[in-house]
Amino acid sequence: MSTPSRIAGDFLSLLESRQMASLNLPRELPSQTEATTVFAFRFADGVLVAGDRRATAGNIIVTDSVEKIIEIDSTAVLAIAGVPAMAFEMARVLQTSFEYYRRSQLQPLSLAAKVRALAKLLRDNLSMTLQGVGIVAPIFAGLDPTRPDEAAKIYFYDPLGAQFQHLEFAASGSGSSTVKSVLTHQLRFGSPKPAELDRKAAVALALELLATASSLDSATGGVDPQRGLFADIRVLAVDGIVRIGEDEQSNAFKGGKR
């Protein structure tokens, strides 16, 4: 019996191995739209989830007005990094399934079940991830409606569906290394710590993180209230989800000084 030949790990090579090269498929796929930097961190009143508004396609800026922080229900927030087409569809599936469960079972889904539901969607997207055309690496923050005494929790996912709970913060996307570096420094050496900040100071920190990331990463959109450049920010607290508007961001930023 002949030994199967080794095939390079991409979709086009697989087609060629099956003698389908005559289809004249391009060796390079067109640049796909990607959402860039998102993060979440714990502060005194809950969890803040934020992202820049930039989406890119290769070296092209597609838009600076995309919303990457999506409210799944009244106790859960999804922050998307990766391909928006896939991420937005995942968000719609989660919104529909969580609401269906709530109405059909007359009770909300637990946080653990919500976390696993997102993991399953990412695993179901495996074929697109392996092709490199549908990668999503989201952050999920939520309260457990079945345990109202517990604080909000932060989860990070890899593109294959593995989830990791982070006690203090998580970040994803092209500017995530900068965000994680600054938050790690603040957590270890800063005063006050991120978890000790009030809402205004937490919003200011989020804007400063995005401004810093954008100065080192061209795919991360900037933050400058004077030029009308704002972030997409949600605060998840015991009393629900609050969207941080442009006026509150301007007042908190104050030229980048807390």
How many CB atoms within 10 Å of residue 65?
A: 12
Residue 236: phi and psi, rounded to 5, are -110, 110
Q: Is 36 a catalytic residue?
A: yes
| E strand residue ranges, 137-209 | 139-142, 153-157, 163-166, 169-172
Set 36, 37, 178, 220: catalytic member: 36
Rg (CA), the chain: 20
CB 213 within 8 A of CB 177: no
Tally of residues, the chain: 258
Query: Taking Cα atoms as reference points, which of 199, 258, 185, 250 lies closest to residue 223?
Result: 250
Question: Which residues have CB under 8 Å from 176's CB, separation 6+?
Answer: 37, 38, 39, 81
Give strand pairing partners of 164: 156
Query: Taking Cα atoms as reference points, which of 62, 66, 97 lies closest to residue 80?
Result: 66
How many CB atoms within 10 Å of residue 100?
A: 11
> How many Å separate Cα 117 from the centre of its chain?
16
Question: Which residues have CB under 8 Å from 22's CB, separation 6+?
Answer: none
Catalytic center residues = 36
